[in-house]
Amino acid sequence: MSTAIVLFRRDLRLADNPALLAACAKHDRILPTYVHAPAEHAPWTPGAASRWWLHHGLQALRSQLAAQGGDLHLLAGDTLEHLRTLIRASGATEVHWNRRYEPAGIASDTALKAALREDGLAVHSHAGHLWREPWALATDAGQPYRVFTPFWRKLRAGLPDAAPLPVARAREWLRLPGSLPTTALELLPTIRWDAGLAGHWTPGEAGAHELLEIFADDAVADYAQGRDLPARHGTSRLSSHLHFGEITPAQIRRVLQDRASRTDARKRPDLEPYLRELGWREFAHHLLHHFPHTPDANFNPRFDGFRWAAADEALLERWRRGRTGIPLVDAGMRELWHTGWMHNRVRMVVASFLTKNLRQHWRHGARWFWDTLVDADLANNTLGWQWVAGCGADAAPYFRVFNPYLQAAKFDPDAAYLKRWLPELASLPAKTIHEAWRHPSALASKGYPAPMVDLGASRDAALAAWGALAD
């Protein structure tokens, strides 16, 4: 009987899993394995919110395998040494995995593949994370894309129409002694601050598909407008499930297309705005692959000379805790702290406030998001922060400074989002909250802080710093 090991990482699913399906098709026995090796991700080891999601995602995958009579062999430590031990114990002749695309992951997998092949193993890596591999698209001049629209045009034209792969089923799931309980990985916080996360999310493949069905039923038809309204569930909220590989872009597209095809033509939703957002995720991975220095360095080297303000821990802490005195910024930061997620429109506003009104370096924000977002993804996080800061690929110009008051009045006119996350202001009229600078005593009487910075003056200072760079 032939045996293969399938190494799970960011692909915590049984359906549309190329590595798992290929191994099941070829071998009699499959040993599903997960090795917890956070050092392989350094310097971007997973943050606290990501670790919470990973714990529950692993539990969900173990339950799925148990339903088929198997289990996930769970280990912690050095991946190569653990695999060598498992290979000796199981007699496995092949190892399969789906590729990772972060710089540290690529380096680890390259070394792992070389070592195992030197041991005489057949090692197969598969594409199971994106529509297209990050190196698969190039401009007509053979260069990486730096602008999203032409990238999306080429990607969109070549999207495959093949159905996603079915659920993989092994002829025999191999079990070996020595597998750890999920709790042994110590992924959950010792001080239980995670009740808000548990109340908002269901990690795992089933939770991903449940959210997709809700989105297909309730929000995709109005996505172009609804995605900008933070008080509504107008987005798919699938970003964490995508990051952990509990669902794939191909599965999402197929479900939405199938649902649309069964809808009356006069009411058929336009899927393009949402598919374009999935394309933005692909663009982020394309950029990270070709410009692997960007998680810590400006994509646009002109910004290396930008006059950021000196790091101010007091300012940063008020921003992190949602105590800036700017209602939309504070609501977003409190939503993040409580749920591990933030609406994308609000993410842009809080990032603009940090990098422009406070003129703190974008890396401070990127690191905080990395630790607190359940959907923290190195490619997306890097592209998003550099886009808002003005120093990234296809970035918003630095002189585009989001006005939090105008953004709130436009996209949260009834202040429903603001009142939800700023309960101390819930009794005030929406107009008072939207014009908080006109009513400092009314907000102060509710225990809400005064603005930590004048938006107009700080905007002028940011533009002056940008002007000095431009000169």
Question: Of 133, 277, 300, 437, which residue is the catalytic one?
Answer: 277
User: For this structure, is 131 an active site residue?
Assistant: no
Contact at 8 Å (CB) between 102 and 379?
yes
What string of DSSP letters covers 392-422?
Answer: STTPPPTT----HHHHHHHH-TT-HHHHHH-
What is the pLDDT at residue 470?
64
Question: Of 53, 97, 370, 385, which residue is the catalytic one?
Answer: 385
User: For this structure, is 308 an active site residue?
Assistant: yes
List, in order, residues 6 or more apart from 246 with CB less than 8 Å away.
12, 13, 57, 60, 203, 204, 205, 207, 208
For the chain, give the mean pLDDT.
96
List, in order, residues 6 or more apart from 378 with CB less than 8 Å away.
44, 102, 288, 295, 370
User: For this structure, is 385 an active site residue?
Assistant: yes
Q: Which two tokens stand for residue 282?
A: 């692909």
Q: Which amino acid is it at 331?
A: A
pTM of the entire predicted model: 0.96
Reading phi first (left if > 0) and then psi (alpha if -120 to 50, else beta), residue 297 is in: beta
Contact at 8 Å (CB) between 421 and 335?
yes
Question: Of 152, 173, 362, 387, which residue is the catalytic one?
Answer: 362
Residue that is written with structure tokens 């239980």 in the block: 192
User: For this structure, is 152 an active site residue?
Assistant: no
- Provide the b/e sequence for 253-288 (b: ≥16 CB within 10 Å): bbbbeebbeeeeeeeebebeebbbebbbbbbbbbbb
pLDDT in tens, 408-465: 999 999 999 999 999 999 999 999 999 999 999 999 999 999 999 999 999 999 999 9
pLDDT in tens, 38-49: 999 999 999 999
Contact at 8 Å (CB) between 44 and 370?
yes
pLDDT in tens, 179-190: 999 999 999 998
By three-state DSSP, how is residue 50 classified? helix
HSE on the CB side for 81, CA within 13 Å?
Answer: 6
Domains of the chain with bracketed CATH:
3-129 (3.40.50.620), 131-163+206-290 (1.25.40.80), 301-470 (1.10.579.10)
